[in-house]
Structure 1
Amino acid sequence: MPLTSSRPAILQQLRLETRPYHDALEQNEFNQALGAGIITPAITHHFLAKLYGFLVPYEARLRQHGFGPEWQLELRQRAHLIPADLGVGAAALPLCPAMPPLATEAQLLGAMYVMEGSTLGGQVLARQLAKAGIEARSYFSGNGEQTGPLWKSFCQLLSEAATEENQAEIVASASQTFQTLYAWINA
C-alpha cells in the first residue's frame, strides 16, 4: 500500500543518492566534446550506438513487466529512433551484455527514473547538436513538447508506486542503472 508520506521522499532520495553516478555519467566523451564545442558526427554516432545497446534490452524488459496504460510505455520507448539517426540497421548495433537487474517492479522503476530523466537532458542536447550542425538528433528530441508532461506524469506514478517496502530497492536500482550505463558507454 503506498504511503503518502513517502511520495515526495522517493524523488528527493533518488536525486540525492544518484547524483554522484549521474555526474560521473555526464563526463563521457560525448558530453565533454559537446560542452567544449568540438562535437563531431563520429562522437555523436558512437554515443548513440551505445545508448541503443542499452535501451533495447531495457525497453524489452519494460514491455514484459505489464505496466498499465497510465504509464504510456509506447511514448517512453525511444530506442527505435536511434538506427534512423545513425543511418544503419538495428542489427549493426551492439547490445549491452550486462544489464542491471530488471526483474522486479521496483528495479524497473529505478531504471525508469534514470531513463525518463534523460529525456529532459535530451532536449538540451538536441538544441546543442543543432547549433553544431549535427543532424543525428531525433532520439534526443524524443517527445518534443510532450517531454515535460511525460516526466511529470512519470514522477507522479513513481510517487504512487513507491512504498516503505520498495523504496530502497528503487533507489538501489537507479544507482545500478547509472553505473551500468556508465560502464557500457565508456567501454
Structure 2
Amino acid sequence: MPPISSSEILTHLRQETRPYHDALEQNSFNQALSAGHVSQEATVHFLRRLYGFLAPYEEQLRRHQPEFSDEWELSARYRAPLLLADLAAVSAEAPPLCPELPPLHTRAQLLGAMYVLEGSTLGGQVITRQLAKAGIPLQRYFNGYGELTGPRWKTFCRLLTEESSHLSHAEISQSAVRTFQLLYAWINQP
C-alpha cells in the first residue's frame, strides 16, 4: 500500500475507524435517545461511563500539554469537568475510572486518540437537542464547546493534517481504532 499523504490523513482516519465509530454509536444510550425513550437514569449511567474514560485520558493529555503549541487550545479542550458538573447536578456518585486506555506515549498516539474524542464533540450537539426535547437537563458535556464546536474541530483537523506530514500515519490510525475499541468496551459494561 502506498504511503498516505498528509492531505489524505482525515479521509484515511474516517475509513479506518468507520466500523468502530458505527459500533460505538449503536450503544443502548444512543439507541434509546434516537427512539425518544431515553431516561435520566440512562443518561447518568452513560455520563458516568464517559467520565471514567475521559478523565484518565485527559490526565495523560495534560502530561503532554507542554509539547503542544497554544494553537491547539488544549486547556479549553478538557471536558471531564463538564461531565462532573452534570453528574453533580443529580447527586450521582463518583464514577469508576477505566483501567485500560490506549497507549498515549507518542505524538502520533495522542493525535489518534484526540481524533476520536474531539470528533465526539460534533455528535454531542445533536444529543444536546435530543436531551432538551426529552426534558433531561444533563447537557453540559454534550454541549461541549457550544458555538465554538465547529471552529475547534476545523482547527484540530488542520493541525492534525499539518503534523501528520512527519508522523506515522499507521500509528495515528491504530491509536484512533484502539481508542474507539476501548471506549466501546468501557461504555458497554453494565
Matching residue of 1:132: 134
Matching residue of 1:180: 182
Tell me how far 1:96 sits from its aligned partner. 0.4
The 3-state SS of whatever aligns with 1:98 is coil
Match for 2:7: what amino acid? P
Matching residue of 1:149: 151
The 3-state SS of whatever aligns with 1:80 is helix
1:130-174 Cα distance to aligned partner (Å, 9 max, x none): 011010011000110000000000000000110365111001100
Going from structure 1 to structure 2, the CA distance change for 1:89 and 1:160 (only over 3 Å counts) comes to farther
Match for 2:20: what amino acid? Y
Going from structure 1 to structure 2, the CA distance change for 1:136 and 1:165 (only over 3 Å counts) comes to closer
Match for 2:54: what amino acid? L
Aligned counterparts of 1:185 and 1:30: Cα–Cα separation in 2: 9
Matching residue of 1:101: 103
Tell me how far 1:90 sits from its aligned partner. 9.1
The 3-state SS of whatever aligns with 1:92 is coil
Matching residue of 1:56: 55
Identity of aligned residues (%): 63
Tell me how far 1:83 sits from its aligned partner. 1.5
Where do 4+ consecutive residues of structure 1 move more than 6 Å? 88-91
Say if 1:107 and 1:173, in contact at 8 Å, map to a contact too: yes
1:1-187 correspondence to structure 2 within 5 Å: 6-65=5-64, 66=66, 67-87=68-88, 92-163=94-165, 165-187=167-189
TM-score by length of 2: 0.92
1:96-154 Cα distance to aligned partner (Å, 9 max, x none): 00111111110000000000100000001001100110100110001100000000000
Say if 2:112 and 2:175, in contact at 8 Å, map to a contact too: yes
Match for 1:145: what amino acid? E
Which 5+ residue runs of structure 1 have no aligned equivalent? none
Aligned counterparts of 1:131 and 1:18: Cα–Cα separation in 2: 30
Aligned counterparts of 1:89 and 1:9: Cα–Cα separation in 2: 45
Tell me how far 1:68 sits from its aligned partner. 1.7
Say if 1:34 and 1:128, in contact at 8 Å, map to a contact too: yes
The 3-state SS of whatever aligns with 1:60 is helix
Tell me how far 1:7 sits from its aligned partner. 2.2
Aligned counterparts of 1:90 and 1:102: Cα–Cα separation in 2: 29
Match for 1:28: what amino acid? N
Count of aligned pairs: 184
Say if 2:116 and 2:180, in contact at 8 Å, map to a contact too: yes
